[in-house]
Amino acid sequence: MIDRGQDRETGGVASWVLRGFGLTAIAAGVMIYFLGPDVTARVFAVLLENLVEPPVYRGGLDGADSDSEMRFFAVFWIAYGAAVMHQARDVDGNRTMLLGLAALFFAGGLGRVLSLWSVQEPSSLFIILMWIELLLPWPIAAMILRTEPKQ
């Protein structure tokens, strides 16, 4: 007989928030991979156009080099999202890995800051993404750290 107690998931709300986060990363990766980065950026720009001053997205991801590079990295977004979703099944047991994944997301935001400083200010869409990547890991890490240990 299988002991269902062993299969029980831990993490409660944190687990579901992390799964939503992972699913979002997978969806973004799938969109970039199949639709291309320019179309994906334009879709998100339409969703955000009422929140920020235009232009939300000025273009620039439609070139062959950018498209090729972004579709290559889209696979890593999909893998990142899958890793978050997998680890979220046991937040307490996978605490270190989940904190590492949150730190990795934050590091991506720092990469956008570096680009901002070294090249120029991007479209509003990418400024919004930068702030999400810099700020979101902190409450996620706090949720992970507050997860009750297994009994």
DSSP notation for 4-54: HHHH--B-HHHHHHHHHHHHHHHHHHHHHHHH-HHHHHHHHHHHHTTTSPS
Q: What is the pTM of this model?
A: 0.87
| pLDDT of amino acid 10 | 56
Residue 90 is inside which H or E element, if any? none
Low-confidence stretches of the chain (pLDDT < 50) are: 1-8
pLDDT, residue 82, reads 98
Structure tokens at 16: 């579901």
According to the model, what pLDDT value does residue 148 have?
A: 74
95, 147 Cβ separation under 8 angstroms: yes
